[in-house]
Amino acid sequence: MLNLESLEIAVSPTEKFREYLATKGMRLTQERELIVTEVFSSHEHFDADQLVERMAAQKTGRRVSRSTVYRTLGWLEESGLLRKVARTNDRDVYEHDYGYPQHDHFICKSCGELFEFQNSDIAEILEKLAEKINFRMNEHRLEVYGICEDCSRPTQRRHKKLDLI
């Protein structure tokens, strides 16, 4: 996986989320703040169940319910802080959309592994294509599906004792 350096941001994800919630007439509860803090503690792709497990493993003394995690993930996505990257193993996979540069993904259809990459040539090609049809492009998202190196290796077959004679 590509190691993406975070971009310089003026407002923290927590403050950005607080502002978003205020526009909806909601407030940033302690539980929602814990979720935002955990989500933005590292740049890892994750699904909701993985986040629930990570939250449960913490010894903060604060319990965050599964339903609160699911609802908060929806609001984080609506607010533009998170985005769904793919659906692997029947689960939505999320990543940060706030504070990280434009990048694209290779996604293994066998194991669900995501590989991030950046390529300015792709953005340039898309801009030229958009210009050709007078389309104002403001972002792009590219997900390429296939099979990763590990999954494409032939399985190692154990020889039966009779084959060894």
Point out the annotated binding site: 104, 108, 111, 140, 148, 151
Residues in the annotated binding site for Zn(2+)? 108, 111, 148, 151
Please enumerate in sequence order all residues whose Cβ is within 8 A of that of 35, keeping only pairs 6 or more positions apart, or say none: 51, 55, 64, 68, 69, 72, 73, 76
Put residue 134 in one of left, alpha, beta given phi > 0 → left and psi -120 to 50 → alpha: left
Query: Which helix (H) or strand (E) covers residue 15, if one does?
Result: helix 13-23
Residues in the annotated binding site for Fe cation? 104, 140
Q: With beta carbons less than 8 A apart as the criterion, state whether 141 and 155 touch.
A: no
What is the DSSP-derived secondary structure letter of residue 40?
T
Amino acid at 163: D
